[in-house]
């Protein structure tokens, strides 16, 4: 089991495509961050942070799951809330437990299936 923590990075400025132009609405990314922080509370090996703009506007709400020396993943098209947050944290815990960042498909929570946008190889 890897001891390297996995970080879930949530885009705080994300707006879902249908409401992206309505600047009066609070970005869905803020609600997503709050949900993920709550779901990750007490989960060993999983950290959460928010950042403005992951540049995946067509896929809002966006998150990245990454750790040093491991494959990183970008996921999107989430509705912020408890179900999405729980699935992301469960997937991130699997990522943290993996030496490479690969989580076998049979271990993916249903809530992340169909949400993968990109897989990024580690720099080292």
| Dist CA 67 CA 96 (whole Å) | 8
Per cent of the chain over pLDDT 70 is 90
| Dist CA 70 CA 99 (whole Å) | 7
SS3 93: helix
Task: Say which range, 1-10, 31-40, 41-50, 108-117, has the weakest mean pLDDT.
Answer: 1-10
* Prediction pTM value: 0.90
pLDDT tens across 115-124, in order?
A: 999 999 998 7
pLDDT tens across 49-75, in order?
A: 999 999 888 888 899 999 999 999 999
With 70 as the cut, is the pLDDT of residue 23 above it? no
Dmax (CA) of the chain: 45
């Amino acid at each position: 089991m890897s001891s390297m923590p996995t970080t879930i990075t949530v885009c705080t400025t994300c707006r879902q495509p249908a409401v992206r132009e309505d600047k009066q609405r609070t970005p869905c990314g803020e609600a997503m961050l709050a949900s993920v922080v709550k779901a990750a509370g007490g989960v060993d090996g999983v950290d959460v942070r928010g950042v403005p703009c992951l540049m995946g506007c067509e896929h809002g709400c966006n998150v990245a799951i990454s750790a040093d020396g491991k494959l990183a993943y970008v996921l999107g098209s989430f509705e912020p809330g408890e179900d999405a947050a729980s699935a992301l944290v469960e997937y991130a815990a699997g990522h943290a437990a993996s030496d490479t960042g690969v989580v076998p498909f049979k271990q993916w929570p249903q809530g992340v299936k169909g949400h993968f946008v990109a897989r990024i190889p580690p720099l080292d």
